[in-house]
């Protein structure tokens, strides 16, 4: 559609939503990373000049490493790429750089390749960068084992042995060293553990154990991933190192026996001295990629690289305070080809405290510190782990963003206050109308009906029901999650009949907003409007207009208004993650115009607080969405904003003030909000002088915000 009508807004919006996953964002900052590209180029030049002139680039992406090999003088260059989009892109790039006759690109996974079917004979050099933040996540071990067996000439054997063949096989990168470090980090904690004891007016202690879908637990079922990824240097609130960086694993990609032994290698147990007091929240992992003896790339948090680190959150239900004299026991394994790290215990004064034990290790610590010898001995004995009580298997899994939502205290307080106000207004209003108002039964008239249509896990229905005389309908549909809500209702003395799970009955979305009973309308309908990534939820306005028709007199939609704020910034980091900046970073190869077809105008999942950008204006109100009055809405707005400093505008980050009612609002930029922010990235940076006035044109079409800046 875009080829036919490039300005067709629907197609463009859809393409932008699709572009985000067609082409991963790391392509941009990887290609902009001149240092990385140059190091690969040097390692490839050295290998080709040493006689390795037949090359296979596994996971070629845009084709840059294959082109390096060709330019270094390789006689034959092959490349394979499993993503269709990248395969086609690589073909265009290689042709645009005059190498389409020299590099044979295959649209396949390297594991499917065979000699002579796909390449005429074994190659002397494999180059690849099929690694993720946890190193093995793109299957590099399996790819290289297969390559050594089927695609590569045999490796250099020991110096002294007779070397019958002239050229031996080699892999770039030659290997990797994996580092780990224990960290205290509140931002990680609040995405993986419930850190609050109450939400709004509800106690959540009875919720049972709630976990994020990230776990290295022994039986890896497919719903769990072993690690998540974060850019530690950009996390709001930062992090605290609790141990020195330790070496978790060394791997030699030129030793196929070692690669084959990796998954059967026994679990490694490391004892790590704690270097400062802090709460154990996670293990952070990164690596050095040794391209060859001289060149290596690091994905560590201390460099200002743009790489993410692998994060292994700690699951122990209790907080665990590490002290400097402690030693942390960490197990490292890479069974099933994923790197797995797990904090298993703490050694304190010679005694080992397992982290997965249910009883509170802190309680032991309290006894242990008492000075009465007799008591100390008895309590020490009582703390000893009598039997290994099995970790409770009946935990409930929530998305990490849903756990962060639970931990967003201010959000729930505000909702609770706004609901309380509405409920008391409506009760008063009903009592004014007296029982006669509702002929068929008084019971029905004093019950208020509230519907929570939030996506995913939400406690808002319980918050409403906790105000008494409210029958709340929740859209939570997963059985385990409904059990959590029922347990919380019970432990907060909310009558079971005051909480209904609407989706259990309704067969279609339309029915979802149907009335609870023949003629009764809803007193309140609660929508969640902003996605965690920072964009407005799709079809929000349609949902709001449908909800408005189903309200009783005086009933309300929550929230009632959303105000979008934005500010002008100069941010090189955002630029580097959004588009390839010309030819220099890509070693002079012409790649930018091709990969930049996949740039998207709005960057999401941004931590604006830690972006480290130059502010070029004050925050300005960009747009107002009124959910209670459709006539108040518009689709297009011009906003004047004055530059407060000279600079180069490259982006307009934006966020929301969500008004639950006229007075009560929550900001998606607030400190412990579970939302990230989004930013419109300009096609062309705009140089401005201080005090200069600019015009922002802001459009909202089908929940998609677009912003452009003009003089």
Ligand X SMILES: CCc1ccncc1CNCCCCSC[C@H]1O[C@@H](n2ccc3c(N)ncnc32)[C@H](O)[C@@H]1O
Q: Which residues bind ligand X (CB under 6 A)?
A: 26, 30, 58-59, 61, 80-83, 86, 109-111, 129-133, 138-139, 143, 289, 297, 299, 307
Shortest CB 297 distance to ligand X, Å: 5
Shortest CB 310 distance to ligand X, Å: 9
Shortest CB 147 distance to ligand X, Å: 9
What residues contact residue 292 under an 8 Å CB cut-off, 6+ apart? 43, 46, 47, 172, 173, 174
Query: What is the distance between the alpha carbons of residues 623 and 211, in angstroms, rounded to a whole number?
Result: 37
CB 313 within 8 A of CB 307: no
Q: Is the peptide bond before 173 cis (omega within 30 degrees of 0)?
A: yes
Shortest CB 308 distance to ligand X, Å: 6
CB 178 within 8 A of CB 285: yes
Q: Which is nearer to ligand X, 81 or 661 (CB)?
A: 81
> Backbone phi, then psi, for 407, in 5-degree steps?
-80, -5
Query: What is the distance between the alpha carbons of residues 564 and 655, in angstroms, rounded to a whole number?
Result: 6
Query: What is the distance between the alpha carbons of residues 679 and 152, in angstroms, rounded to a whole number?
Result: 45
* Start-to-end Cα distance in the chain: 31
Shortest CB 338 distance to ligand X, Å: 15
Residue nearest to ligand X (CB): 59
Shortest CB 217 distance to ligand X, Å: 24
Q: Which is nearer to ligand X, 113 or 530 (CB)?
A: 113
Shortest CB 206 distance to ligand X, Å: 41
CB 331 within 8 A of CB 267: yes
Q: Which is nearer to ligand X, 82 or 403 (CB)?
A: 82
Shortest CB 307 distance to ligand X, Å: 4
Chain-centroid distance of CA 292 in Å reads: 32
C-alpha distances (whole Å) from 625 to each of 148, 524, 610, 703 are 59, 18, 27, 10
Element (H or E) spanning 180, and its range?
Answer: strand 175-184
CB 707 within 8 A of CB 622: yes
Chain-centroid distance of CA 59 in Å reads: 23
| Bridge partners, 228 (sequence order) | 311
Shortest CB 64 distance to ligand X, Å: 11
Query: What is the distance between the alpha carbons of residues 159 and 482, in angstroms, rounded to a whole number?
Result: 66
Q: Which is nearer to ligand X, 76 or 132 (CB)?
A: 132
Q: Which is nearer to ligand X, 110 or 333 (CB)?
A: 110
Q: Which is nearer to ligand X, 57 or 326 (CB)?
A: 57
Shortest CB 22 distance to ligand X, Å: 11
Element (H or E) spanning 15, and its range?
Answer: helix 9-22
Q: Which is nearer to ligand X, 288 or 408 (CB)?
A: 288
Q: Which is nearer to ligand X, 42 or 318 (CB)?
A: 42
Element (H or E) spanning 364, and its range?
Answer: helix 361-368
Shortest CB 193 distance to ligand X, Å: 26
Query: What is the distance between the alpha carbons of residues 328 and 277, in angstroms, rounded to a whole number?
Result: 12
Query: What is the distance between the alpha carbons of residues 461 and 499, in angstroms, rounded to a whole number?
Result: 8
Tokens of 30: 């990887």
Shortest CB 59 distance to ligand X, Å: 2
CB 586 within 8 A of CB 592: yes
Shortest CB 81 distance to ligand X, Å: 5
Element (H or E) spanning 547, and its range?
Answer: helix 540-549
Shortest CB 137 distance to ligand X, Å: 8
Q: Which is nearer to ligand X, 88 or 399 (CB)?
A: 88
Q: Which is nearer to ligand X, 58 or 448 (CB)?
A: 58
Q: Which is nearer to ligand X, 249 or 289 (CB)?
A: 289
Query: What is the distance between the alpha carbons of residues 200 and 411, in angstroms, rounded to a whole number?
Result: 8
Q: Which is nearer to ligand X, 204 or 289 (CB)?
A: 289
Tokens of 275: 């270097």
Element (H or E) spanning 640, and its range?
Answer: strand 636-642
Q: Which is nearer to ligand X, 58 or 524 (CB)?
A: 58
CB 494 within 8 A of CB 466: yes
Q: Which is nearer to ligand X, 39 or 191 (CB)?
A: 39
Nearest to 559 by CA among 476, 632, 627: 627
Shortest CB 583 distance to ligand X, Å: 20
Tell me the residue ranges of DSSP E strands in 243-319.
Answer: 246-252, 268-273, 278-279, 282-290, 296-298, 309-313
Q: Which is nearer to ligand X, 287 or 608 (CB)?
A: 287
Query: What is the distance between the alpha carbons of residues 320 and 145, in angstroms, rounded to a whole number?
Result: 40
Shortest CB 349 distance to ligand X, Å: 39
CB 332 within 8 A of CB 262: no
Query: What is the distance between the alpha carbons of residues 326 and 346, in angstroms, rounded to a whole number?
Result: 7
Q: Which is nearer to ligand X, 32 or 414 (CB)?
A: 32
> Backbone phi, then psi, for 16, in 5-degree steps?
-65, -40
Tokens of 413: 């307080």
C-alpha distances (whole Å) from 559 to each of 179, 192, 402 are 46, 27, 19
DSSP string for residues in 464-481: HHTTSSEEEEE----HHH
Shortest CB 123 distance to ligand X, Å: 14
CB 409 within 8 A of CB 417: no
Q: Which is nearer to ligand X, 59 or 91 (CB)?
A: 59
């Amino acid at each position: 559609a875009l080829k036919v009508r490039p300005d067709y807004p629907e197609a463009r919006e859809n393409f932008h939503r699709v572009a985000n996953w067609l082409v991963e964002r790391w392509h941009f900052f990887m290609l902009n990373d001149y240092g990385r590209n140059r190091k690969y180029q040097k390692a490839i030049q050295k290998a080709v000049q040493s006689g390795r002139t037949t090359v296979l680039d596994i996971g070629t992406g845009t084709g840059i490493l294959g082109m390096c090999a060709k330019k270094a003088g390789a006689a034959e260059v092959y490349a394979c790429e499993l993503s269709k989009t990248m395969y086609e892109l690589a073909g265009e790039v290689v042709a645009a750089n005059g190498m389409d006759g020299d590099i044979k690109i295959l649209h396949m996974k390297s594991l499917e390749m065979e000699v002579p079917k796909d390449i005429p004979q074994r190659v002397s050099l494999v180059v690849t960068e099929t690694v993720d933040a946890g190193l093995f996540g793109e299957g590099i071990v399996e790819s290289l084992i297969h390559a050594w067996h089927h695609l590569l000439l045999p490796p250099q054997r020991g110096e002294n042995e007779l070397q019958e063949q002239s050229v031996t096989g080699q892999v770039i990168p030659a290997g990797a060293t994996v580092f780990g470090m224990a960290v205290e980090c509140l931002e990680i904690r609040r995405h993986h553990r419930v850190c609050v004891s109450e939400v709004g007016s509800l106690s959540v202690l009875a919720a049972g154990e709630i976990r994020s879908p990230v776990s290295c637990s022994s039986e890896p079922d497919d719903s769990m991933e072993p690690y998540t990824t974060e850019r530690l240097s950009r996390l709001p609130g930062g992090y605290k190192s609790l141990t020195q960086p330790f070496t978790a694993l060394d791997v030699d990609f030129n030793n196929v026996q070692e690669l084959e032994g990796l998954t059967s290698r026994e679990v490694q147990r490391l004892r790590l001295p704690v270097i400062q007091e802090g709460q154990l929240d996670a293990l952070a992992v990164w690596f050095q990629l040794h391209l060859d003896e001289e060149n290596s790339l690091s994905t560590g948090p201390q460099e200002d690289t743009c790489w993410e680190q692998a994060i292994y959150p700690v699951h122990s239900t209790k907080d665990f305070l590490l002290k400097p004299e402690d030693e942390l026991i960490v197990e490292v394994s890479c069974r099933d080809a994923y790197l797995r790290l797990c904090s298993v215990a703490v050694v304190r004064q010679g005694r080992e405290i397992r982290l997965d034990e249910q009883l509170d290790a802190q309680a032991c610590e309290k006894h242990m510190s008492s000075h009465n010898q007799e008591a100390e001995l008895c309590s020490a004995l009582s703390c000893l782990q009598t039997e290994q009580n099995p970790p409770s298997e009946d935990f409930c899994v929530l998305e990490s963003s849903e756990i962060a939502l639970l931990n967003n205290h201010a959000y729930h307080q505000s909702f609770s206050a706004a609901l309380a106000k509405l409920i008391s207004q409506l009760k008063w209003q009903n009592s004014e109308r007296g029982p006669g108002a509702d002929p068929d039964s008084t019971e029905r008239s004093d019950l208020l009906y509230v519907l929570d249509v939030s996506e995913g896990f939400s406690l808002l229905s319980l918050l409403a029901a906790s105000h008494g005389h409210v029958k709340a309908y929740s859209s939570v549909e997963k059985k385990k999650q409904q059990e959590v809500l029922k347990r919380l209702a019970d432990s907060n003395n909310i009558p079971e009949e005051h909480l209904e799970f609407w989706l259990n009955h309704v067969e279609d979305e339309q029915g979802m907003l149907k009335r609870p009973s023949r003629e009764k309308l809803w007193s309140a309908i609660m929508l969640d409007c902003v996605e965690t990534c920072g964009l407005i939820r799709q079809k929000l306005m349609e949902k709001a207009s449908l909800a408005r028709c189903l309200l009783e007199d005086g009933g309300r939609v929550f929230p009632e208004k959303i105000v979008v704020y934005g500010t002008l910034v100069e941010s090189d980091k955002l630029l580097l993650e959004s588009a390839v900046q010309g030819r220099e970073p890509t070693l002079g190869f012409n790649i930018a115009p091709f990969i930049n077809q996949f740039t998207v105008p709005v960057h999401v999942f941004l931590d604006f607080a830690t972006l480290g950008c130059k502010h070029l204006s004050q925050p300005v109100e960009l747009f107002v969405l009124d959910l209670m009055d459709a006539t108040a809405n518009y689709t297009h707005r011009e906003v004047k904003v004055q530059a407060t400093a000279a600079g180069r505008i490259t982006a307009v980050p934006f966020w929301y003030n969500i008004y639950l009612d006229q007075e009560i609002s929550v900001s998606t930029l607030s400190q412990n909000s579970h939302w990230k922010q989004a930013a419109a990235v300009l096609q062309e940076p705009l140089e401005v002088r201080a005090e200069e006035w600019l015009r922002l044109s802001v459009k909202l079409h089908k929940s998609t915000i677009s912003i452009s800046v003009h003089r």
